[in-house]
Structure formats: C-alpha cells, structure tokens
Amino acid sequence: APSQYDVDFIVIGGGSGGMAAAKEAAKNGAKVALFDYVKPSTQGTQWGLGGTCVNVGCVPKKIMHYAGLQAINMHDAQALGWQVEADSIKHDWTTLVETVQNHVGSLNWGYKLGLRSNKVNYINATAAFIDAHTVTYTLKGVEKTLSAANLLIAVGGRPVIPESIPGALEHAITSDDIFSLYTSPGRTLCVGASYISLECGGFLKELGYEVDVAMRSIPLRGFDRQCSEKVADLMDKLGVTFHKQYVPSLIKKTSSGDLEVTMTHTVTNEEIVKSYNTVMFATGRRADTDGLNLAAAGLSALPNGKLATDYADVTSVSHIYAIGDCAQERPELTPVAVQAGQYLARRVFGGSSKNMDYKMVATAVFTPFEYGAVGYSEEDALTTFGEDAIEVYLFEFTTLEAGAVHRKKHPSRIADEYDADFGDTCLAKLVCLKNENERVVGFHFIGPNAGEITQGYALALKAGVTKAMFDDTVGIHPTDAESFHALEITRRSGKSWVAEG
Ligand code: FAD
Ligand code: NA7
C-alpha cells in the first residue's frame, strides 16, 4: 500500500552517523532523504558534506598530526645518516593546509557520489520539525516540507566558546577553523586540556610554533590519569608551556594585531598577561539540536543539548532515533556513530534485531606521543570493582628506535637550544580483574602508532582475554607492543615499573 508519508526515512545531519544510516537504509530498500547543512563557525568557516570527522575533525587532524611527526623523523634521520641539514628544515603552513583541504575536498565529492549511487536524496538545507513526522526546510528561497515514517537525528555537535570571557567569541578560533587557516597560526594559546586541545597544541608545537595550553584542572579528563599525565608531561618536554589552573579572563586585540590574553589562576586569582597570534578554544562541544524545533515533534533535549535514547537508539518518540555526538552517553567517536547508523538502519528496514554495543570501544589520542586505550581506566576500575579486585600491570620504556638515535633534540626547538631528555616515551598498562581469572578490562598504551596497536588489542579485550593469555602469546620482536606479553610488575608490588639500563 502506498505510504501516507513522502519518504520512508528522513535523516537530519550528513555526518559520520547520518551518512552511514542513510546509505544502509537505502540498501535495505528504504526511500531516504538526507539533510545536511553546515552553519558557519564563529569565525565564518564553512565546509562541505560529511560532517565533523571529514571536514573539521579526525581526518584533517590526523594529517596535521602526521605532518608534526615528520619533525621527529627528520631528527632521527640525521642520526641514521640522512643528510638533512638542521638549519635548512623549515615548515610551510600554507602547503600543509592545501594538502589537507585538497584531501577533504576529494572526500566531500566521494560522499556526494556515494549518496547518489545509493539513491539517497541529499538536500543541502537545514531541517527543523513541524510535527513528529514532518520537517520544514528552505531551498533556493522556497520553503518546503517533507514527511517520513521514521526519522533520525544525527546533527552532531559544535565547539563552545564561553561567552563570559570578553573578547573570546570575537577573537578566538576553534577546531572548526584551525584546519583551513590559510595563514600560519603563529604563537598559539590552546584553551582547555581535552584531547582536541592537546592534539592541536601538539602538532602546532611539532611544526615549530610556540604553544601554550591554559589548563583549568587536569589533562584529558575521562582518560586514565597516569596515562593522561604522561601525555601532558611528554608535551611539556617537547616545549609546550602549560599554564596550570589558569583560565583566560580577557582577550584584547592590540594595535599590532596580536591577541593579548589575561589568564587568571582559578584558586589564587593571580593574573598572567601574554600575547599570542592565535587563541584556540577547545573547551567542550554542544550538541547541535537547538535549531531543530524539537518540541514540535514532542521531544526535548537535555541541558547539554543532547537527546536521551534507549539501548536501541530510540528517543522518547518511538519512530524518531538519535545517534552519534548528539545522543546522550555515547562515546563521541566516528566509528561509533557509523556502526550505530548502520545497525539502526538494518533494524528499522532490514529486519535485524542487532543492537549497537557501546561498551569496550577503543580510542586513540593523537598527541605527539600517541595514547591508545580500551576499557576501564585505573580510576574507573577502582571505583567500579574496588581496590582489592583489580591488578594493574605496568611497564615504562623507550622504543628501540628512539633509544638508538638518542632522540633528545627536537628540530622545531633547535633555534633556542632546547635539549630535552624525553626519558621513557612508552607506557604499557593492563588493568585486570583478579577474581575473574585476571580478565583484562583496561588496556592502555602510550607510544608510536598507539592507535594501530590498540585497535588489535581491542578485539582481544572484547573477546574476554585474560592476563594468562597475554603471557602465553609470543611477542613480535623488536616491537613496542611485545612489552604487553611480558608484563610482570604490578602497582600493588610497589616495585619500579620503569625499564632499567
Ligand atoms: P557530525 O559528524 O558532526 O555530523 C552532523 C552533521 O549534521 C553536520 O554536518 C552538521 O552541519 C549537520 N547538521 C546539524 N544540524 C542540522 C540540521 N538541522 N539540518 C541539516 N543538517 C544539520 N572521532 C574519532 O573517532 N577519531 C578521531 O580522531 C576524532 N578526532 C576528532 C577531532 C576533532 C577536532 C573533532 C572536533 C572531533 C573528532 N572526532 C574524532 C569526533 C568525530 O568527529 C565525531 O564523533 C563524529 O563526527 C560524530 O558524527 P555525527 O554523525 O554524530 O555528527
Ligand atoms: P571535553 O572533553 O568536554 O573537554 C573540555 C576541556 O575544556 C576540559 O579540559 C575542560 O576542563 C576545559 N574547559 C571547559 N570549560 C572551560 C572554561 N570555561 N575555561 C577553561 N577551560 C574549560 O571537550 P572536547 O570538545 O575536547 O571533547 C568533546 C568530546 O569528545 C568529549 O566529551 C569526549 O568524550 C570526546 P576541565 O577538565 O573541565 O577542568
């Protein structure tokens, strides 16, 4: 029978989650319309189809991280006989941004083709509800409506700049702007100590810019404390200046065009005034639901803008779903949004009953010294299971390669004679449950290629791996990951877990 609705499925938001859901629904026979429209950033930056990850998230950030890593490779290269003259090493920001934006542009194009080949009707407009089955949008000046039996909200989130700080909204950029800045950022203050702040601060430092971080409390809230402190400590050794417990209280543009920032200590109220070329806020994100007119659909957002959903991603209205960064208590990660979208489409249109498992999702922080993790942090394991129930195994060491080349001096710091001994750059850590045969519930690794390494171990943790299985598995030599197969020292033992010699 013909449906009373225009289409079977309306997807609001063409990011990681929305795109995946739309294509999968179409593959399962649904008639699908997908809305995606990018509101300009606070500094007026806009981009194409594909959402945060492709345009202003994972993709550009990983390329810039890769650019940063080349600095250390060039240092190592000299010790390995390559005739790279330290004085001639220069970095050109504009070339990097062009490479990044060319790649992003090709992905935008690929996404458009992907929607077309899957027969998804892509509508480049902002959608808002007028009732629980219908949205309104304006295309080329004409206001239209579209209705569907099922609707998905996958609008993601956007960075938040605290309006209470005079000058911040006007002068500061966010991660929505950094990847397409056509002039080099120069001396930069990163505000916040989230992974986004530290990743951006990290690659800027490696590229040779002076970088300060205004850190209100702790680095990488939510991640394992020991690992987070080590990541920040290694950045400190790289030359990033952390203004601990300081928050900006005033940002002024001087006659020379610099940004003069007053930072205030959160406890003592002491002030520091410093001048920067760029100030980047990474002080959290807000789900982008404010313009959706949720009330017309019978929905309401939580104070943080997110939508509450059940285990099957259903909102309080049974035919309206929410996934990705705009859904409450979901890891804000691209692969999470993608899998949630695919599984949802298969449930709604393909007769599947498989729900997304949001537990044991691995993640990596692409700071200069990468950090990968899956499962419980030591702190979360302590509060969840109790101190007696957990055993933590640790080993801190330097990679063979870094040791061999005496990696001490970073090319971007050669000018000011900086000579840091990074010390042990790697940390391997397992959190195990004693009374469950030492099942491993937390895996943490700091070191090169942490993302790649952690991905493999995530599978083992998901399968219920125990410490004994780690011990039985023979390592690959010489690698950093082999350290996980020879972990002996526990936190409880009180012994040093730092490699000797
Ligand atoms: P989004 O990708 O944000 O897509 C939502 C889309 O909906 C946007 O295009 C938006 O413009 C559009 N939209 C909003 N409202 C409307 C409306 N009313 N009508 C039409 N369209 C609308 N994740 C990782 O897994 N790994 C990483 O390394 C990583 N790095 C990141 C680095 C940065 C700097 C940032 C900011 C994020 C990073 N993330 C990373 C997170 C990842 O980008 C997000 O989790 C992911 O993009 C969320 O997907 P989504 O579909 O929920 O939303
Ligand atoms: P997060 O992870 O929410 O982190 C925000 C960071 O910004 C954090 O370090 C905060 O410090 C800091 N912050 C927040 N407000 C302020 C103000 N007003 N002044 C100074 N510093 C501030 O945000 P992200 O956007 O990086 O990440 C978004 C999500 O991606 C995150 O939820 C993860 O799950 C993945 P605090 O620790 O609160 O003192």
pLDDT digits over 109-130, tens only? 999 999 999 999 999 999 999 9
How far away, in angstroms, is 40 Cα from ligand 2 center? 21
Instruction: Determine the pLDDT at residue 414.
Output: 41
Q: Which ligand 1 atom lies nearest to the CA of residue 323? A: 52
pLDDT number for residue 421: 72
- Residue 247 CA to ligand 1 center (angstroms) comes to 26
Tell me the CA distances in angstroms from 221 to 227, 291, 377, one per residue in order. 11, 29, 11
Question: Which of helix, strand or coil describes residue 251?
Answer: strand
Residue 129 sits at φ, ψ, to 5 deg, of -70, 145
Helix, coil or strand: residue 431: strand
Active site residue 477: yes
Which secondary-structure segment (H or E) carries 274? strand 271-276
Residue nearest to atom 53 of ligand 1 (CA): 156
d(CA 33, CA 401): 51
Element (H, E) at 440: strand 439-446
Cβ distance 189 to 201 under 8 Å?
no
Residue 131: per-residue pLDDT: 98
pLDDT of res. 59: 98
Beta strand pairing status for 7-12 and 142-153? parallel
The first and second tokens of residue 434, run together, are 């004693």
On whether 409 is known to bind a ligand per the annotation, the reply is no
Q: How far is CA 326 from CA 220, 415, 429, in A?
A: 21, 45, 32
- CA-based diameter of the chain, in Å? 77
Q: How far is it, in rounded angstroms, from Cα 321 to Cα 141?
A: 29
Annotated binding residue 197: yes
How many Cβ atoms sit within 10 Å of the Cβ of residue 366? 24
Ligand 2 centre distance from Cα of residue 282 (Å): 7
Pocket test for ligand 2, best of 158, 163, 212, 216 (most atoms within 8 A of CB): 216
pLDDT score, position 403:
85
Which distant-in-sequence residues (6+ apart) come within 8 Å of 404 by Cβ?
79
Closest Cα to atom 34 of ligand 1: 57
Which residue's C-alpha comes closest to atom 31 of ligand 2?
A: 332
332 lines ligand 1 (CB under 6 A): yes
**Dist. CA 305–CA 272, nearest whole Å:** 34
Q: Are 177 and 169 in contact (CB under 8 A)?
A: no
Distance 52 CA to ligand 1 centre (A): 3
Task: Ligand 2: list residues with CB < 6 Å.
Answer: 162, 191-196, 216-218, 221, 247, 282-285, 332
Residue 416 is predicted with a pLDDT of 46
> Quick check: pTM over 0.90?
yes
The finding on whether 339 has its CB within 6 A of some atom of ligand 1 is no
* Residue among 287, 300, 290 at smallest CA distance from 327: 287
Instruction: Give the chain's residues under pLDDT 70.
Output: 1, 408-420, 501
CB within 8 Å of 264: residues ≥ 6 apart: 246, 247, 248, 249, 270, 271
Q: Which amino acid is at 200?
A: C
Q: Which residues contact 47 (CB under 8 A, 6 or more apart)?
A: 38, 55, 56, 104, 108, 180
Residues 408-443: tens digit of each pLDDT: 665 555 444 455 677 788 999 999 999 999 999 999
192: annotated binding-site residue? yes
Report CA(15)–ligand 1 centroid distance (Å). 5
Distances, alpha carbon 292 to alpha carbons 38, 316, 361, in Å: 14, 15, 29
CA distance 26 to 28: 5
Q: Which atom of ligand 1 is nearest to the CA of 127?
A: 19
Mutate which of 34, 38, 58, 178 for ligand 1 pocket (most atoms within 8 A of beta carbon)? 58
